[in-house]
Amino acid sequence: MKKLILACTCVSCLFIGGCTYEYETEYIKEDIVTDRLDENMEIPSLEQELEIIGEEFTLICKYDTGSYDLSNWHVTDTKNITMMAVTNNLPEGYEVYIDHVHADISLKSTEPQINGIMQDSMDDTFHGYSQDGFYIDDTTEYYNIFAIEGYTEYFFKMWGYAIGNYGSVQGTSSRLTEGSLIQAGTYAEKLTVVYDISIKRPESDHLYTKSVISELLIPISSEIDTVVKEYGTGRIIEETEAAEEEEEDLGKNMRLTMAFFLIAVIVVAASYFVGRFISDYKK
């Protein structure tokens, strides 16, 4: 009898506690230092004034998402980032050219295996012969559009390393989907742009080059539209607004399951006691 009560108590505790267990793992705190696109604006944008080491003038960089709604920014979507650069307080007689631009967009995650995975990249170089690059000054701007692919071969490869034999993410699906990325602690994408700038001073016939780095975060949306499909046919049965609803339903179902199981344990224990009582009474 004591063994039955002990077993029922242990099993009940496991289910009430949600069958959880604890483990220690590495964790990266969310980046609150790097500039972020302002999602409260009609067209989400960001302006930065960047120092050029050893120079009296600075570089003004502006970014925006165009018509893409930042509240629905998803890693796996194909999307665009526009970028613009001009000088600020350029001394008279100076000539400034952007010789080359390199841009990377990567994941920001609290999981070490996922944080920093590059999704896509872009390079832009002046291909003409009439001048030494993209000419800029305080009023003449460099303008470009970074067309970001949702899925790239490199992105797939690095995701495979993160969840495969080279590393693992607890409780994360092996499929590269928006839901899997969020489940793996992804909260933003990081845009890193390096501008190689060629400068010519009034008293010189030669150009020299300085590099400027620009970094910003683009927060991703945690809401994912889902559907319920019929197994085998793939027919859509029900649409849901977001994955968050599914998680809430899952939590409710888990709690109901625990409650029913606890009731079943109590019924079994009560039946045992009643049976013993009847058996002892007949004797």
Decide: 38 and 46 in contact? Cβ < 8 Å: yes
Mean local confidence (pLDDT), 209-223: 94
Among 193, 224, 255, residue at a domain's last position: 224
**pLDDT score for 156:** 87
Mean local confidence (pLDDT), 1-22: 53
**pLDDT score for 193:** 98
Q: Are residues 55 and 15 in the same domain?
A: no
Q: Are residues 220 and 246 in the same domain?
A: no
Nearest to 266 by CA among 274, 254, 256, 255: 274
Report the share of the chain in percent with pLDDT over 90: 49
Distance between CA atoms of residues 85 and 127, nearest Å: 19
Higher-confidence residue of 193 and 278: namely 193
- The residue type found at 150 is G
Number of other CB atoms surrounding residue 68 within 10 Å: 19
CATH number at residue 38: 2.60.40
**pLDDT score for 225:** 74
**pLDDT score for 24:** 76
Q: Are residues 250 and 282 in the same domain?
A: yes
Among 224, 253, 268, residue at a domain's last position: 224
With a cut of 50, say whether residue 244 has pLDDT above it. Answer: no
Among 224, 243, 269, residue at a domain's last position: 224
Q: Are residues 57 and 1 in the same domain?
A: no
With a cut of 80, say whether residue 14 has pLDDT above it. Answer: no
**pLDDT score for 171:** 45
Distance between CA atoms of residues 77 and 58, nearest Å: 34
Q: Are residues 251 and 125 in the same domain?
A: no
pTM: predicted TM-score of the whole model, two decimal places: 0.73
Residue 203 burial class via C-beta count within 10 angstroms: exposed 0-12, middle 13-18, buried 19 and up: exposed
With a cut of 90, say whether residue 260 has pLDDT above it. Answer: no
What's the number of domains the chain is made of?
Answer: 2
Q: What's the mean pLDDT when you consider all of the chain?
A: 82
Distance between CA atoms of residues 121 and 257, nearest Å: 47
Q: Are residues 113 and 208 in the same domain?
A: yes
Mean local confidence (pLDDT), 238-247: 52
Q: Are residues 144 and 13 in the same domain?
A: no
- Structural domain boundaries, residue 248: 1-29+226-283
Interacting residues of 21 by C-beta distance below 8 A, sequence separation 6+: none
* SS3 state of residue 92: coil
72-130 pLDDT, tens digit per residue, is 899 999 999 999 999 999 999 999 999 999 999 999 999 998 999 999 999 999 887 77
Q: Are residues 205 and 239 in the same domain?
A: no
Q: Are residues 10 and 78 in the same domain?
A: no
With a cut of 50, say whether residue 175 has pLDDT above it. Answer: yes
Q: Are residues 17 and 64 in the same domain?
A: no
Long-range pairs for 137-142: beta carbons < 8 A, 24 or more residues apart: 137/86, 137/87, 137/90, 137/96, 138/86, 138/87, 138/88, 138/89, 138/90, 139/86, 140/86, 141/84, 141/85, 141/86, 142/84, 142/85, 142/86, 142/98, 142/101
Distance between CA atoms of residues 258 and 85, nearest Å: 59
Distance between CA atoms of residues 149 and 143, nearest Å: 20
130-157 pLDDT, tens digit per residue, is 788 999 999 999 999 999 999 998 898 8
Distance between CA atoms of residues 96 and 53, nearest Å: 14
**C-alpha triplet 213, 215, 218: angle, nearest 5°:** 160
* SS3 state of residue 7: helix
Side-chain half-sphere of 40: how many Cα atoms within 13 Å? Answer: 1
Q: Are residues 150 and 187 in the same domain?
A: yes
**H-helix segments, the chain:** 2-16, 153-163, 178-183, 243-282
Decide: 228 and 139 in contact? Cβ < 8 Å: no
Q: Are residues 142 and 255 in the same domain?
A: no
